[in-house]
């Protein structure tokens, strides 16, 4: 642990170092990026599990941020892609586990004219429910300031206007630095998109964030968790339901699940790649 080094820089360096140790023959540039997407995948994850999904999303992920050893998109793909071939095995907090499809970079229109639809890192869909995932690797280790177009206040005139999500947006407009580490504005926008896209199904917004194996090494991680708890309390009782957990907590949940046979080796490979100490 090096407290005189910002936590985001320290964590980025640790993830890059782990990548190099596991894959010494794969070149990384000075920013920790590989040359092509396939080089950033753990064993058992295939390009055809996710390529079509990422290419239809916004942001040109495949040739951009996905190539980073510390990419939140690659973290989500490396964690979830094998479930594309065995969707019945997927278990997520907030869901009953009866999912029929899984899609990365799923667009959920919010109904606002001229505004880009929110892109969820992952969406698991079943006949009666959806669980949408927002994935964070290092993004929550940099300060955020909430911003909303006036269109959100002017054009959301349906049932969403009466929810705790809308009230939280109003608080954020008045107090843009209400949260330092949590990108609360993004979560609110995602919630509006989920509610508009799936009005007749039970919906959950699952906020998944990475932490190192020693999160007590920097106060930032505890501060982030405190903000998450405060945000959760602010939006409780409104749809979509908000749940937050760390990636290590999710991997532990799956390790207790035990089956199918491929799941435990997969969890071990993900932990080997991302379970670093700073």
In angstroms, the first-to-last Cα distance of the chain is 5
Map residue 249 onto helix, strand or coil: helix
Q: Say which residue the tokens 């919630």 belong to.
A: 191
- The whole-number pLDDT of residue 3 equals 57
Alpha helices in the chain (DSSP H): 7-22, 51-56, 72-80, 150-155, 164-174, 184-197, 219-235, 247-257, 263-274
User: Is the peptide bond prior to 240 cis by the omega test (within 30 degrees of 0)?
Assistant: yes
pLDDT tens, residue order, the chain (278 aa):
445 689 999 999 999 999 999 999 999 999 999 999 999 999 999 999 999 999 886 666 777 899 999 999 999 999 999 999 999 999 998 766 689 999 999 999 999 987 888 899 999 999 889 999 999 999 999 999 999 999 999 999 999 999 999 999 999 999 999 999 999 999 999 999 999 999 988 999 999 999 999 999 999 999 999 999 999 999 999 889 999 999 999 999 999 987 899 999 999 999 999 999 99
Dig out the tokens for 195 from the structure.
């509610």
Q: Which residues neighbour 249 within 8 Å (Cβ) at sequence distance 6 or greater?
A: none
- The whole-number pLDDT of residue 22 equals 97
- The whole-number pLDDT of residue 59 equals 61
Q: Say which residue the tokens 């799936």 belong to.
A: 198
Residues 147, 93: Cα–Cα separation, whole Å: 29
Burial of 108 (0-12, 13-18, 19+ CB in 10 A): buried
User: Is the peptide bond prior to 234 cis by the omega test (within 30 degrees of 0)?
Assistant: no
- The whole-number pLDDT of residue 4 equals 66
- The whole-number pLDDT of residue 61 equals 73
- The whole-number pLDDT of residue 187 equals 98
The reported pTM is: 0.94
Q: Of the candidates 71, 66, 64, which has an alpha carbon nearest to the alpha carbon of residue 12?
A: 71
Residues 60, 65: Cα–Cα separation, whole Å: 8
Residues 226, 244: Cα–Cα separation, whole Å: 11
- The whole-number pLDDT of residue 95 equals 63
Q: Say which residue the tokens 């390790």 belong to.
A: 255
- The CA-based dihedral angle spanning residues 149, 154, 157, 159, taken in that order and rounded to the nearest 10 degrees: 40
Instruction: Write out the DSSP string of 158-215.
Output: SGGGGSHHHHHHHHHHH-TTS-SSS-HHHHHHHHHHHHHH-TTSEEEEEEEE---S-G
- The whole-number pLDDT of residue 57 equals 63
């Amino acid at each position: 642990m090096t407290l005189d080094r910002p936590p985001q820089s320290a964590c980025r360096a640790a993830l890059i170092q782990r990548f190099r140790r596991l894959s010494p023959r794969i070149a990384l540039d000075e920013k920790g990026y590989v040359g092509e997407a396939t080089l950033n995948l753990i064993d058992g994850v295939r390009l055809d599990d996710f390529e079509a999904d990422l290419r239809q999303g916004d942001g040109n992920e495949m040739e951009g941020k996905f190539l980073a050893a510390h990419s939140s998109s690659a973290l989500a793909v490396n964690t979830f892609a094998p479930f594309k071939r065995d969707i019945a095995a997927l278990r997520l907090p907030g869901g009953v586990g009866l999912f029929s499809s899984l899609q990365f970079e799923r667009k959920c229109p919010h109904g606002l004219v001229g505004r880009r639809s929110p892109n969820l890192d992952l969406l698991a869909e079943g006949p009666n429910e959806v669980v949408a995932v927002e994935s964070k690797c290092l993004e929550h280790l940099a300060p955020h300031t909430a911003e909303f177009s006036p269109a959100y206040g002017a054009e959301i005139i349906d049932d969403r206007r009466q929810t705790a999500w809308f009230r939280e947006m109003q608080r954020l407009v008045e107090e843009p630095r209400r949260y330092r580490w949590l990108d609360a504005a993004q979560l609110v926008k995602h919630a509006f998109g989920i509610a508009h896209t799936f009005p007749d199904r039970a919906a959950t917004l699952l906020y998944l964030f990475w932490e190192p194996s020693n999160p007590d090494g920097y106060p930032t991680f505890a501060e982030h968790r405190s903000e998450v708890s405060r945000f959760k309390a602010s939006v409780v009782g409104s749809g979509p339901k908000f749940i937050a957990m760390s990636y290590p907590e999710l991997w532990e949940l799956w390790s207790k699940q035990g089956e199918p046979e491929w799941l435990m080796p997969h969890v071990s490979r993900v932990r080997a790649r991302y379970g670093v100490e700073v």
